[in-house]
Structure 1
Amino acid sequence: MPRKCPGRGGSGGAMAAAAAAAAPAPEAWPELELAERERRRELLLTGPGLERRVRAAGGRLPPRLFSLPLLHYLEVSGCGSLREPGPGLAQGLPQLHSLVLRRNALGPGLSPELGPLPALRVLDLSGNALEALPPGQGLGPAEPPGLPQLQSLNLSGNRLRELPADLARCAPRPLLSELAAADNRLRELSPDIAHLASLKTLDLSNNQLSEVPAELADCPKLKEVNFRGNKLTDRRLEKMVHGCQTKSILEYLRSGGRGGGRGKGKAEGPEKEEARRRRRERRRRESGEGEEEEVDHAGRLLLRVLHVSENPAPLTVQVSPTVRDVRPFIVGAVVRGMDLKPGNALRRFLTSQTKLHEDVCEKRTAATIATHDLQAVRGPLLYTARPPQDLKIVPLGRKEVKAKDLVRQLQLEAEEHRKQKKRQNLSGLHRYLHLLDGKDSYPCLVDADGDVISFPPITNSEKTKIKKTTSALFLEVTSAASLQTCKQVMDALVLKMAEINKYTLENQEDGSLSDPDADAVSGQPPDPSGSSGAEKAGSTALVVEQVRVLDEDGHLKVVYPSKTDLGLAAPHVTVIR
């Protein structure tokens, strides 16, 4: 009888079937399926399961992620197996506004390079293992520019020896205002830094810099620099970076240091100084600075800043380290002089906040606003994070509930909404639930009584709800993206409040015409006189009180508004400091 050849016939088929059965099944990505099904614009990937799935994908993000062209916000954080984003990001995510890839293992370069990403505004690559970002393995092409809309770049906590050489060409438009590269291995700062005409904040602390180029003083909008933790050879400059304001540091650099000249201390002739002055003036004109001086004072919105030193009882916010991996950035401010009593003033204010959430805050993915009745706020405040089962809040319009149960309630409501409307689009708070996906703890703001008054990005507390009688407000802006994002959103909010107040006074709405919703919110009858507090005062000026944000040891993290804040481009705004 003929023998059967091994590997053929039934035994061969059985072996193939066994091999196929032994092959690992492709990893499931339910987050991607959900984002695709609901046409989401925001996506957060984090948590312990992410590490295993990325490792199975070869240390890259899954290709399916790059088939979600509607994404505006993408965050992948805390994944030690993510070594590179993978090909297809630039082509597949053309509408991306914010890209957060912090605390991963990206490095030593980026291959392929990230760009072109024509709509990207915020890029956070902090806490990785990047050593260099040369052309072809960096942020994007220089020709044509790969990141033309970039405003905030965070490269802190890597192993970089130098900043990207083509940064000014990759992001050529005068938009990049925040650059952070702290805790790296930078040995030199190129004079080309002066080409970043809109740069406002520069953090290069804890590097290996020995000199700071004098050209840095040519950045026309630069207001905050941090060179602490470097071993500068100029001893006087070394002392200044630890104890002097940015303005003094830039003036010292502009004069060329101790020798009165530039670079090595040699004096320059009047021709070079005049050329440098012309360059500064040209950059100011290109960035639009100074145009407001030509506008007539009449009809302006007035904002008066009350400094901490002038305030007998300033409000402070202490930040707990627990928020670092959840939602680390917060800015606060107090605004006095709002008049929400007449007509639809309260409704206009609440509607404007909703619009800011949609636009500037990018549907709360970039930042979240919370406004409180200052009379109900008991300071000092604590910004912390708690497990969902330990966080209790009285949400707006609801009874006290644990965050875990509130999220579950909202999820059930969202499912019921889908069934009734037979569509995937959600409204109200339900749209923001995905921002909590994968979080082991939730951020919250706690007052001195121990009550949670804010649970971003979901809701505020009924305790500090804004009413028609509210005239003094505490404002907070939180973000997972950057501190500069918080400040930009706060600027927009304060400006909008000033516009609403001015409109209310000039139109003199009758309080009896107030809308039912606003009356219900206030719980009080309208003022029979119809006169508003702002009208009685005869001014639309708002007072903006500084609020300090401190770390756990009481050291200052940020104060708002600082000298660099409220530098509003609107020519009809006057800020009195």
Structure 2
Amino acid sequence: MFPVSFGRRSRIANMDDTKTWPEVEKAATEKRRELVLQGPTANTKISSYGGLPPAIYSLTLLNYLEVSQCPSLTELHEDIQSLTNLQSLILCRNKLSCIPDVISNLKSLKVLDLSANNLVLLPDGITQLRELTTLNVSCNRLEALPDGLSHCVKLCSINMSKNCITGFPSDLYSERMDLLSTLVASDNAVVELGTDIHKLAALKVLDLSNNQLSDIPSSLSDCPKLKEINFRGNKLNDKRLEKMVNGCQTKSILDYLRGKGRQGEERGDVDRGRGVNDRKRKQKKKREEEQDELEEISKMVVRVLHVSDTPEALTVRVSAEVKDVRPYLVCCVVRGMILKPGNSLKRFLVAQTKLHDDICGKRTIATIATHDVQLLKAPLAYDAKPPTQLKIVPLGRREMTAVELIRNLQLEADELRKQKKRQNVTGLHKYLQLLQGKALYPCIVDAEGHVISFPPITNSEKTKIKKTTKELFLEVTSANSLQTCKDVMDALIAKMAELNKFTVEHQEEAGSDEEGDAPPGQTTSTDACSELIIQQVRTVDQDGNLKVVYPSKTDLSKDIPNLTVIW
């Protein structure tokens, strides 16, 4: 069991928790099934109180508990074992250094999220959670997972990315893990993938990118349901396989591994000293030529246009008022994004949402917004306005002030909580706390004075992208740093290039467009090109002095496999 200090908590256990923690009182009186404590407000209380209040552990009806984005939370009391009805325990983005072994008593737990903490070790008690389906321990300092995970026979997803893990538990490759479909272990120090990997019969997604693998076992090709693999960033002994890995061609990689497995069997039956005959050499050469052609087709190309080459290039003027609100902004214009065929627009919007949840930290780190360039009225200004003066037509709503929008969202959130007897909410409602205590709200305004963007809440319906959008104006805002904005924009553009390549390669999907032929300048399923053209956008201060231009030569320069940037 892990040593945990309870000194300060025990001294103040008799305090009136309800005065300090009205959320806890409300959950108790209304017999709620969910409780969410997150962000600066909760963090301040945890800091001053010395941890979570004992009253939380009396809420035995809870089936969902989330305490997140609270760096003052460094330990978890053993009384957590009292919440035996918990099905989801979300403790992400805190500073937890250990988890008590008594977590094994949460027999109903299905989802356990301990991501983005300071954990160096996990308790063995986790292996006793028989109902567990999802385990997320990413972004910690773990060197290993506990042995015995095969006892968690209902596990469907394990995310252990961004740790210091060198290998998997000895029993992970078990036939008992017949529901495990997603295994993410990227950005670790894994040196070997066991040959028993094929025993994971339900495995669909395997991510071992950025590790220290030197080989990929041919038995991986025997995983019957495997659809998506990622081994980029590993220095493989087989350089041909390494090329294929960097191209992320899952089917080609599995076919190649399957072929290697057959060759290994054949080599056991023939004299190793026998030379390869002409027919085999020709077959090998043909396979290599086909693979080289596949790699050429799969390249993702981004071409950058300089502002000096396009006099009509957009410029965004940044006011001094945003300095204390949300000071950092980068923008660019993208042409060539294929949005019309099939589900390409839907895939793009889903990818943007995933980036918001992952790299953007659910919009706490940064916020992405996209607009149809043809609906913009330049020049643009990045400003900050009082909530009563900021008017916008939010996506899917009528025009209203920021005050009205926030009030409406809050009422909707309260109504949802009453209906479902749950504290957590979805959609725009979950971002309301990001504006708490702000006297001014950030916004991007066009030449006609219309607010087209209100980060981190919503865009304007007036500039909403559609299937027919030809040019996109992208913006990333953050209160953290300029580099944060650039990193997020890099990730967004790389994802757009990947989606474009996917659309081009799956022409049969692209051909099912109900809206008819593409208009002039819009690619179709038969003539589509995956190349993206990125037009630089400058942001300047009120006096016209350059603040940043994106992309610059140092942007999009990270090791993004198969992405070619042409300047």
TMscore range, shorter length: 0.5 to 0.7
Query: Which residue number in structure 1 is paired with residue 557 of structure 2?
Result: 567
* Distance in 2 between residues matched to 1:35 and 1:316, nearest whole Å: 49
Query: Which residue number in structure 1 is paired with residue 494 of structure 2?
Result: 495
Amino acid at match of 1:504: T
Query: Which residue number in structure 1 is paired with residue 347 of structure 2?
Result: 348
* Distance in 2 between residues matched to 1:365 and 1:329, nearest whole Å: 13
Cα offset, 1:90, TM superposition: 3.5
Match of 1:477, SS state, is strand
The answer on 1:44 being equivalent to 2:43 is no
Query: Which residue number in structure 2 is paired with residue 140 of structure 1?
Result: none
Query: Which residue number in structure 2 is paired with residue 549 of structure 1?
Result: 539
In terms of mean alpha carbon deviation, does 565-574 or 381-390 score higher?
565-574
The answer on 1:526 being equivalent to 2:516 is yes
Query: Which residue number in structure 1 is paired with residue 303 of structure 2?
Result: 304
Distance 1:559 1:65, change over 3 A: farther
Query: Which residue number in structure 2 is paired with residue 126 of structure 1?
Result: none
* Distance in 1 between residues matched to 2:140 and 2:358, nearest whole Å: 20
Aligned residues: CA RMSD: 4.1
Any unmatched runs of 5+ in structure 1? 1-23, 76-87, 100-116, 122-145, 150-170, 174-283, 520-524
Distance 1:381 1:507, change over 3 A: same
Q: Deviations over 1:70-107 (max 9, x none)?
A: 554359xxxxxxxxxxxx644369742799xxxxxxxx
Match of 2:75, SS state, is helix
Amino acid at match of 2:75: Q
The answer on 1:374 being equivalent to 2:364 is no
The answer on 1:365 being equivalent to 2:355 is no
Cα offset, 1:509, TM superposition: 4.1
Cα offset, 1:526, TM superposition: 3.4
Cα offset, 1:35, TM superposition: 12
Query: Which residue number in structure 1 is paired with residue 382 of structure 2?
Result: 383
Amino acid at match of 1:540: S
Distance 1:41 1:27, change over 3 A: closer
Among 50, 66, 73, the residue aligned to 2:69 = 73
Among 17, 34, 50, the residue aligned to 1:63 = 50
The answer on 1:480 being equivalent to 2:459 is no
Cα offset, 1:450, TM superposition: 0.7
User: Do the aligned residues in 2 keep the contact of 1:370 with 1:454 (CA within 8 Å)?
Assistant: yes
Cα offset, 1:424, TM superposition: 2.0
Match of 1:91, SS state, is coil
Q: Kindly, what percent of the aligned residue pairs are identical?
A: 51
Query: Which residue number in structure 2 is paired with residue 403 of structure 1?
Result: 402
User: Do the aligned residues in 1 keep the contact of 2:523 with 2:529 (CA within 8 Å)?
Assistant: no
Amino acid at match of 1:549: T
Among 530, 533, 558, the residue aligned to 1:540 = 530
Give the length in aligned residue pairs: 349
Query: Which residue number in structure 1 is paired with residue 93 of structure 2?
Result: 96
Distance 1:471 1:41, change over 3 A: farther
Cα offset, 1:325, TM superposition: 2.1
User: Do the aligned residues in 1 keep the contact of 2:360 with 2:488 (CA within 8 Å)?
Assistant: yes
Query: Which residue number in structure 1 is paired with residue 434 of structure 2?
Result: 435
User: Do the aligned residues in 2 keep the contact of 1:333 with 1:474 (CA within 8 Å)?
Assistant: yes
Q: Deviations over 1:467-510 (max 9, x none)?
A: 11002100111112222221111111111111111111221245
Q: Deviations over 1:506-553 (max 9, x none)?
A: 212456745xxxx8xxxxx33289996165655211001111122222
Among 115, 119, 136, the residue aligned to 2:116 = 119
Q: Deviations over 1:137-165 (max 9, x none)?
A: xxxxxxxxx9969xxxxxxxxxxxxxxxx
Amino acid at match of 2:496: M
Cα offset, 1:562, TM superposition: 1.4
Query: Which residue number in structure 1 is paired with residue 414 of structure 2?
Result: 415
User: Do the aligned residues in 1 keep the contact of 2:74 with 2:95 (CA within 8 Å)?
Assistant: no
Amino acid at match of 1:490: M
User: Do the aligned residues in 2 keep the contact of 1:342 with 1:510 (CA within 8 Å)?
Assistant: yes
Q: Deviations over 1:370-407 (max 9, x none)?
A: 10001111222111111111100011111111110011
* Distance in 2 between residues matched to 1:285 and 1:506, nearest whole Å: 26
* Distance in 2 between residues matched to 1:509 and 1:438, nearest whole Å: 51
Match of 1:574, SS state, is strand
Match of 2:539, SS state, is strand
* Distance in 2 between residues matched to 1:456 and 1:349, nearest whole Å: 19
* Distance in 1 between residues matched to 2:383 and 2:323, nearest whole Å: 9
Map residues 104-503 of structure 1 onto 2, 5 A cutoff. 119=116, 298=296, 299-503=298-502
User: Do the aligned residues in 2 keep the contact of 1:303 with 1:498 (CA within 8 Å)?
Assistant: yes
In terms of mean alpha carbon deviation, does 295-304 or 459-468 score higher?
295-304
Match of 2:333, SS state, is strand
Q: Deviations over 1:322-380 (max 9, x none)?
A: 22222221111111001211111111111111111111112111111110001111222
Distance 1:512 1:538, change over 3 A: closer
Cα offset, 1:435, TM superposition: 1.1
Amino acid at match of 2:93: L
Distance 1:531 1:438, change over 3 A: closer
* Distance in 1 between residues matched to 2:331 and 2:502, nearest whole Å: 25
User: Do the aligned residues in 2 keep the contact of 1:319 with 1:550 (CA within 8 Å)?
Assistant: yes
* Distance in 2 between residues matched to 1:317 and 1:570, nearest whole Å: 28
Match of 2:557, SS state, is coil
Q: Deviations over 1:97-145 (max 9, x none)?
A: 799xxxxxxxxxxxxxxxxx99369xxxxxxxxxxxxxxxxxxxxxxxx
* Distance in 2 between residues matched to 1:313 and 1:530, nearest whole Å: 21
Cα offset, 1:172, TM superposition: 12
Amino acid at match of 1:566: L
Distance 1:569 1:70, change over 3 A: farther
* Distance in 2 between residues matched to 1:355 and 1:410, nearest whole Å: 22
TM-score normalised according to structure 2 size: 0.54
TM-score normalised according to structure 1 size: 0.53
User: Do the aligned residues in 2 keep the contact of 1:369 with 1:476 (CA within 8 Å)?
Assistant: yes
Cα offset, 1:433, TM superposition: 1.1
* Distance in 1 between residues matched to 2:322 and 2:549, nearest whole Å: 18
Distance 1:315 1:573, change over 3 A: same
* Distance in 2 between residues matched to 1:486 and 1:313, nearest whole Å: 24
Query: Which residue number in structure 2 is paired with residue 508 of structure 1?
Result: 507
* Distance in 1 between residues matched to 2:464 and 2:53, nearest whole Å: 41
Any unmatched runs of 5+ in structure 2? 1-14, 57-64, 77-89, 97-113, 119-138, 143-161, 165-232, 236-241, 248-291
Query: Which residue number in structure 2 is paired with residue 188 of structure 1?
Result: none
* Distance in 2 between residues matched to 1:555 and 1:27, nearest whole Å: 52
Distance 1:472 1:574, change over 3 A: same
User: Do the aligned residues in 2 keep the contact of 1:414 with 1:430 (CA within 8 Å)?
Assistant: yes
Amino acid at match of 1:552: Q
* Distance in 2 between residues matched to 1:430 and 1:391, nearest whole Å: 19
Distance 1:528 1:543, change over 3 A: closer
Q: Deviations over 1:273-312 (max 9, x none)?
A: xxxxxxxxxxx999xxxx9899766121001111222222
* Distance in 2 between residues matched to 1:450 and 1:354, nearest whole Å: 28
Amino acid at match of 1:437: Q
User: Do the aligned residues in 1 keep the contact of 2:341 with 2:524 (CA within 8 Å)?
Assistant: no
Distance 1:378 1:26, change over 3 A: same
Amino acid at match of 2:505: E
Cα offset, 1:563, TM superposition: 1.6
